[in-house]
Structure 1
Amino acid sequence: MMDILMYLFETYIHSESDLNVDQDELEQELLRAGFHQNEIYKALNWLEDLAALQSDDSSQNIATSSATSIRIYSEKEQQRIDTRCRGFILFLEQIEVLNPELREMVIDRVMGLETRDLQLDDLKWIILMVLFNVPGNESAYNTMEELLYSTDHGILH
């Protein structure tokens, strides 16, 4: 599913392509690209859930906290998000790329994936998608994009 999300993000969002694509047409394109129908549906549902996080009803379910609080991960979250990824999320909060609400959106979308093998690069893509989807986070998006595409692996995670 992560491959489909990255493909869609790079093809439609990141490349300035037309965003008004018919869902049936999109499904056919993904099938032609070699993705499986079941995974396509899961990815499209994941994107719909991401968009729904912005609605007033859904945003009430996102827990917020003060700037001085520390996020404690549930056992299920710890199983899905390893120490390295949790450290990266904390780092992004410290440099103000993520605020508590955005952090919770990221965690929600990570938990929405059907994978037990979340890699740091996958997390970076999810964060980028969340930042792109929430208006007013252009600066944070640009910073995250630099971290994603950075070739200098000697700094930060």
Structure 2
Amino acid sequence: MFDVLVYLYENYWRPDACPDHEQLTRKLSSAGFESDEIQEALSWLDGLATVAECYTGEQQQSSIRVYTAAEQDLLGEESISFISFLESAGVLPPPLREMVVDRASAIGVAPIPLDDIKIIVLMVFWSLGKEPDTLVLDELFVAPEDRLIH
């Protein structure tokens, strides 16, 4: 599923630039993705659109997040630390953080690998038509061992 999401991010600059589900399914199928993987990704994106409607209207821009034991098990320490890092850097406000946690919960894998959380964060920004700043993109795409230290 994550390969489909990355493909969509790379090929469609915003969700409204994507064709309807039927045409998109055909395009993804012709790009080599399996039918079940496509349906899973499209269903996940539908959920993201629904969650985006709920959280984008929220005005609360500061809050403290206490993760439940189930969320801690689901996300894992590494992913929670990464989400907290993005929050403390001021690039992931509470409403977007909640979208990330919601969409991570929809995956059904525990703990979610950090690389998958990074894709979820990217897709949350994408779903809102926002492009993360360069430093966030670097954090999402460049492996720590590949970074140049100046």
After TM superposition, the score normalised by the length of structure 2 is 0.79
Counterpart selection for 1:96 from 75, 90, 93: 90
Name the structure with the higher helix share. 2
1:100 partner letter? P
> Offset of 1:124 from its aligned partner?
1.1
Q: Would you say the 8 A contact 1:124–1:148 is kept in 2?
A: yes
Percentage of matched positions with identical amino acids: 36
The whole-number CA distance in structure 2 between the counterparts of 1:25 and 1:133 is 19
Query: Which residue is 1:75 aligned to?
Result: 69
* CA-atom RMSD in angstroms: 2.8
Query: Which residue is 1:59 aligned to?
Result: 55
The whole-number CA distance in structure 1 between the counterparts of 2:82 and 2:120 is 13
Q: Would you say the 8 A contact 1:132–1:141 is kept in 2?
A: no
Query: Which residue is 1:48 aligned to?
Result: 46
Quick check: 1:142 aligned with 2:138? no
Q: What does 1:1-157 align with in structure 2 at a 5 Å threshold?
A: 1-13=1-13, 19-55=17-53, 58-59=54-55, 66-67=62-63, 69=64, 71-135=65-129, 137-138=130-131, 140-153=132-145
Q: Deviations over 1:85-113 (max 9, x none)?
A: 10011111111011111110111111111
Q: Would you say the 8 A contact 2:55–2:96 is kept in 1?
A: no
**Relative contact order, higher structure (CA 8 A, sep 6+):** 2
Q: Closer, same or farther in 2 for the Cα pair 1:96/1:127, shift >3 Å?
A: same
**Total equivalences in the alignment:** 145
